[in-house]
Amino acid sequence: MKKHSRVFIFLVLSGLLMSCGDDAPDAGHVAEVGGQPISKAELEWEMHHVSPGSDRRERALKQLLERKQMVAKARERGLDGDPKTRRSLDGVLIRQLQTEDLQPKLDAVAATAEQIQQRYETATDQWQQPESVILAVLFLPSSPEDTVRRKGNRQLLEQAKEEAGKLPVATGFGRLAVTHSQHQETRYQGGILPPFSPLDQVEGWRKEVLQSSTGLEVGAFTSVVETKEGHYLARVVERAESRRKSFEEVRHEIKRQLMEEGQQAVRDQYAKRLNEAFPWVVNQQQLEAVTEPNSVPRESLAGLPDPVK
């Protein structure tokens, strides 16, 4: 009985092997779908995306075969030639190329201590900090037509000036900013504004208030500044003279600059090699026949990285 069983199994296996015929995959491939081979490496990678188990390999192969079938059908329909699809595929390839080829070169860029020190000593103007002033303000709004209110607001600010003179300079207008100012950004912090520099491009009331503070000592008050929005009173809280920043203040900034310059040089060299290896050939006649589209599909604006960034 056992002899007959062994013969039967042998015949079944032989039939299966013969049924594969010419369609059996090559010895170097795990399987084929529509003539497209599936390598051992592909299956091993697919297994990383399948949960562990005794049949993990078989489940991974099934998953891979089914996906390859879908890909084969998509190619049969010519979807791989669709501009949108090709752009997405290009993006995948470019990202992989950047990871393997460009990124290691960018990561290798470094800025030495000597380079950082030399940049600090040679680019002296770059590390010059301009003079700056910190002001505190009180603001009372009024329309230009409301002359009565404007007169009253001016008087209130003049009175506030006398009271504020008794307060520490560092507090700006202190508690008076809460009771006498409608400048919402600063009224709960003594009316103190961020630092101004002569290089800052300020407009509107800030420009007028800054001009009114020119030449004033720390602790001094401007005259009441009238604008179309209302009246302002400013106090000089702090002044800083122009100076050259210390090496320690700018060391990290210099390193960042050198790194960016070095990485840009790598990108430029990489782009040059691409141009040499794959030169452009433009059909000018066909190019001129391309018309400007009315709109660009939103989905086509993302997903394709710059080859050299």
Listed residues 211, 241, 271: the one ending a domain: 241
Asked whether residue 42 is domain-assigned, the answer is yes
Token digits of residue 110: 């470094």
Closest listed residue to residue 121, CA positions, set 34, 244, 32: 244
241-285 confidence digits (pLDDT tens) = 888 999 999 999 999 999 999 999 999 999 999 999 999 888 999
CA distance 15 to 128: 87
Question: pLDDT category, 23, cuts 50, 70, 90?
Answer: low
If asked whether residues 264 and 298 sit together in one domain, one would say: yes
Contacts for 237 with CB less than 8 Å, ≥ 6 apart: 134, 135, 136, 169, 170, 172, 192, 218
233-245 confidence digits (pLDDT tens) = 999 999 988 889 9
Q: What is the model's pLDDT at position 22?
A: 47
Asked whether residue 232 is domain-assigned, the answer is yes
CA distance 96 to 199: 45
Question: pLDDT category, 63, cuts 50, 70, 90?
Answer: very high
Overall average pLDDT of the 126-142 stretch: 92
Residue 299 has pLDDT above 60, yes or no: no
H or E segment and range at residue 228: none
Domain that holds residue 54: 28-77
Question: pLDDT category, 35, cuts 50, 70, 90?
Answer: confident
If asked whether residues 116 and 135 sit together in one domain, one would say: no
- pTM for the complete prediction? 0.58
Mean of pLDDT over the chain = 86
The amino acid sitting at 38 is I
Helix (H, G, I), strand (E, B) or coil at 222: coil
Question: pLDDT category, 292, cuts 50, 70, 90?
Answer: confident
If asked whether residues 142 and 230 sit together in one domain, one would say: yes
If asked whether residues 142 and 210 sit together in one domain, one would say: yes
Backbone angles phi, psi at 100, to 5 degrees: -85, -30
If asked whether residues 124 and 136 sit together in one domain, one would say: no
The amino acid sitting at 205 is W
Asked whether residue 268 is domain-assigned, the answer is yes
Question: pLDDT category, 80, cuts 50, 70, 90?
Answer: confident
Q: What is the model's pLDDT at position 7?
A: 37
The amino acid sitting at 196 is F
Listed residues 198, 215, 241: the one ending a domain: 241
The CATH number of residue 148's host domain is 3.10.50.40
Q: What is the model's pLDDT at position 304?
A: 53
Beta strands in the chain (DSSP E): 29-33, 36-39, 128-129, 132-141, 225-226, 230-240, 243-244
Residue 187 has pLDDT above 50, yes or no: yes
If asked whether residues 32 and 86 sit together in one domain, one would say: no
Asked whether residue 195 is domain-assigned, the answer is yes
CA distance 167 to 170: 9
Percent of the chain beyond pLDDT 70? 85
Q: What is the model's pLDDT at position 161?
A: 94
CA distance 225 to 233: 6
If asked whether residues 227 and 270 sit together in one domain, one would say: no
Asked whether residue 159 is domain-assigned, the answer is yes
Q: Choose the weakest-confidence range: 49-63, 167-181, 203-217.
A: 203-217
Beginning with the edge strand found earlier in the chain, give each strand of the sheet holding 230-240 in spatial order: 132-141, 230-240, 225-226
If asked whether residues 230 and 136 sit together in one domain, one would say: yes
If asked whether residues 250 and 113 sit together in one domain, one would say: yes
Asked whether residue 2 is domain-assigned, the answer is no
Q: Choose the weakest-confidence range: 25-29, 143-147, 207-211.
A: 25-29
Decide: residue 172, CB within 10 A, 0-12 exposed, 13-18 middle, 19+ buried: buried
If asked whether residues 148 and 227 sit together in one domain, one would say: yes
Closest listed residue to residue 163, CA positions, set 142, 186, 180, 151: 180
Contacts for 70 with CB less than 8 Å, ≥ 6 apart: none
Q: How many domains does the chain have?
A: 3
The amino acid sitting at 91 is G
Mean pLDDT comparison of 7-21, 104-118, 208-222, highest-scoring range: 104-118
Residue of 24 and 174 predicted with greater confidence: 174
Asked whether residue 3 is domain-assigned, the answer is no
Looking at residue 192, the DSSP 8-state letter turns out to be B
Asked whether residue 21 is domain-assigned, the answer is no
If asked whether residues 219 and 253 sit together in one domain, one would say: no
If asked whether residues 113 and 153 sit together in one domain, one would say: no
Closest listed residue to residue 165, CA positions, set 220, 215, 232: 220
